[in-house]
Structure 1
Amino acid sequence: MKITNVEVSITSEAKDHPVRDAIQLLDRNGHTTLTIETDEGVTGQSKIYFGREEHSPAVLAMIIERQLAPVIIGEDPAFIRGIRDRLRTLTDYQGTPGLSTFGMAAIDQALWDLQGKALGVPVWRLLGAQRSAIPTYAMVGWLELDIAGLERVSAKAMEQGFRGVKVKVGGGPLSEDLERVGAVRKVIGDDAALMVDANQAFDYAEALRRGRAYEQLGCRWFEEPLPAADTAGHVRLAEKLDLPIATGENRYGQAAFRDLIERGGVGVVQPDLRRAGGVTDCFEIGLLAAGFNIPYASHGGGAHIHVLAALPNTIYVESGLLPDDSPISLVDGCYPLPDRPGLAGWND
């Protein structure tokens, strides 16, 4: 089988309900969709999401069409890691982290999707599944919500069967964080998981001060307390707090996780499929973390569920609330694995 063509399309539109975290307003829905075609008629598809900035999908599409796609035409789509390494070499001069990695992730995911469809199985079977369902929590606590809104969405998450919720922090003073997180705790109860996410908003001193306060509320983890690249700061913070540090969604490729993991700067490894480079790198990051007995929780859901199914150290898949017309129901706070061939997720 050989790759014969790569098709790319884009969408970009304003969100009906923009959401806010400590550093940004996510006010758009944008996608760059990629389809890989072969000489045997089997295709693979992926979709890269953008939550803000109108022109990013088009810029990514240009990178794929003009730079990355020509390199893979004529290649055997089974050689996923070989293709990845060629694309890394190609993009090294301009800097692989950034939109180059987004493009590599699009190709990587489409290749895995293609392999699953060629063999008639979901990708988690190709990776070697460890479990048949994935524990999940709901990311519902956005900063544009007032206390009543937080209570409402948190209650709905528990009604839908999620094991816990995540709340954004850092948009105001610590007293505001404590009020918001405390209100959610009362709604979900003492036994449900409660995570806080600062989206890189703090310096070391403020992260330490707030982390100690979040510990008192029984939070499960403190996500992205510091700028993503500050490995030394993460190590220092992890040494001072009992509360696990979750981070990784803004690191690019497996290599960016090595020092962070080895030096003890992360308590929950949390890659993003787009920025990590796709299924291949996320799976390798997860295995690296497993070697150090560090748990793995995805940033986002969708296709990531296939990686989570196969890792020995998986603890959670991140999710939004279930749509009212969702065909999926949670069972014991878990998502079942998708059964369609390829890389389909539960929200595709």
Structure 2
Amino acid sequence: MKITKVTVQVTSEPKQHAIRDAIQLLDRNGRCDVTVETDAGISGTSSTYFGRVASSPPLLGALVTEQLGPAIIGQDATMIRHIRDQLRTLTDYQGTAGLSTFGISAIDQALWDLLGKSLGVPVWKLLGANRTAIPTYAMVGWLELDVPQLQDVCARAMEQGFQGVKMKVGGGPLAEDLERIGAVRAVIGDGVPLMVDANQAFDLAEAIRRGRAYSDLGCRWFEEPLRAADTAAHVRLAEKLDIPIATGENRYGQEQFRDLFVGGGVGVVQPDLRRAGGLTDCYEIGLMAAGFGIPYASHGGGAHIHVLAALPNTIYVESGLLPADGSVTLTDGCYPLPTEPGLSSWSAH
């Protein structure tokens, strides 16, 4: 089954409702869909999401069309790890981390989709299933929402059956965070997991101060308190706090995760399919984390659910609110796994 063609479709449009975290406004819906075709008549597709910057999807599309795609024409489509390593070597001189990794990830996911379709099974079965449903929480507490709006959306998440909620912090003073956390707790109840996410907004001293306050309020984890690449600061922070530090969505490649695991700077690891290196790398990072006894919770959902189904250390998949049309429902706070061949799955965005 040889690769014959790699094509890209790009879309980018403003969001109807822009969302805000502590450091950025996410005001666009952008996508780069990559399709890999073969001489067997079977193709696989992936979708890479962009929440801001109108030019990003077409830039990724050009990278795939002009550089990465041509390099894999004629390759055996089942040699997924070999193709990943080949593309890393190809992009090493220009810098593999960054948009190059986005492109490698897109091709990696399309190849897994293709392989699953060729064998007639969902990819989670190819990876070695460990569960048939994934506990899920709702990431709904964005900073552009005022307190009544924040309470309303968290209440809706509870009505839809989610096992917990996550909210953004760090957009203002600590007192504001505490007020908003208290407002959410008032509507979800004391026993429901509540996660807080700072999106890399703090330095070490402020992360220690706020982390202690969030811990006192019983928050489940403190996500991305520091700049993602600062492993030493993560290790020092973890030593100072009782609340688990969750991070990983802005780290590229397995080496950056290995250093974090060895140092003890993470309590919940959260790779992102686009940045970590695709389905292959997220699965391998998850297994490495399991060896260190570190639980795994995805950044986002979509195709990531296949990795989560196969890992022994999965604790959560992240989601937004369920569709209003009732097309997706939870069972005991869990997402059922897709049954269609390939990577067919729900979207987290």
Q: Same fold (TM over 0.5)?
A: yes
- Paired AA for residue 12 in structure 2: S
Partner of 1:246: 246
Distance 1:149 1:261 in 2: 37
Partner of 1:339: 339
- After TM superposition, the runs of 4+ consecutive aligned structure 1 residues lying more than 2 A away are none
Distance 1:32 1:167 in 2: 28
- 1:70-94, CA deviations, whole angstroms, 9 ceiling, x for partnerless residues? 1110000110000000000000101
Distance 1:77 1:219 in 2: 44
Work out whether 1:140 is the aligned partner of 2:135.
no
Work out whether 1:120 is the aligned partner of 2:92.
no
Partner of 1:264: 264
Distance 2:193 2:160 in 1: 15
Partner of 2:57: 57
Give the drift of 1:347. Answer: 3.4
Partner of 1:160: 160
Please give the residue correspondences for 1:266-281 in structure 2 after superposition, counting only pairs within 5 Å. 266-281=266-281
Work out whether 1:102 is the aligned partner of 2:102.
yes
Q: Equivalent residue of 1:107, what SS? A: helix
Work out whether 1:300 is the aligned partner of 2:300.
yes
- 1:52-111, CA deviations, whole angstroms, 9 ceiling, x for partnerless residues? 000000000111011100111000011000000000000010100000000000000000
- Paired AA for residue 272 in structure 1: D
Partner of 1:185: 185
> Does the Cα contact within 8 Å between 1:337 and 1:346 map onto a contact in 2?
no
Partner of 2:67: 67
Give the drift of 1:345. Answer: 1.1
Distance 1:246 1:116 in 2: 31
- Paired AA for residue 209 in structure 2: R
Partner of 1:284: 284
Distance 2:326 2:288 in 1: 34
Give the drift of 1:257. Answer: 0.3
- Paired AA for residue 117 in structure 1: K
Give the drift of 1:256. Answer: 1.2
Distance 2:87 2:122 in 1: 25
Give the drift of 1:327. Answer: 1.6
- 1:179-228, CA deviations, whole angstroms, 9 ceiling, x for partnerless residues? 00111011111111100000000000000000000001100000000000
- Paired AA for residue 97 in structure 2: P
Give the drift of 1:18. Answer: 0.2
TM-score by length of 1: 0.99
- Paired AA for residue 52 in structure 2: R
CA-based RMSD of the aligned residues comes to: 0.7
> Does the Cα contact within 8 Å between 1:222 and 1:246 map onto a contact in 2?
yes
- 1:230-263, CA deviations, whole angstroms, 9 ceiling, x for partnerless residues? 0000000000101000000000111110010111
Work out whether 1:45 is the aligned partner of 2:45.
yes
Partner of 1:211: 211
Distance 2:258 2:70 in 1: 31
Distance 1:291 1:302 in 2: 25
Partner of 1:313: 313
Give the drift of 1:323. Answer: 1.1
Distance 2:242 2:347 in 1: 34
> Does the Cα contact within 8 Å between 1:235 and 1:263 map onto a contact in 2?
yes
Partner of 2:85: 85
Q: Equivalent residue of 1:315, what SS? A: strand
- Paired AA for residue 277 in structure 2: G
- Paired AA for residue 94 in structure 1: Q
- Paired AA for residue 101 in structure 2: T
Distance 1:111 1:157 in 2: 34
- Structure 2 unmatched runs, 5+: none
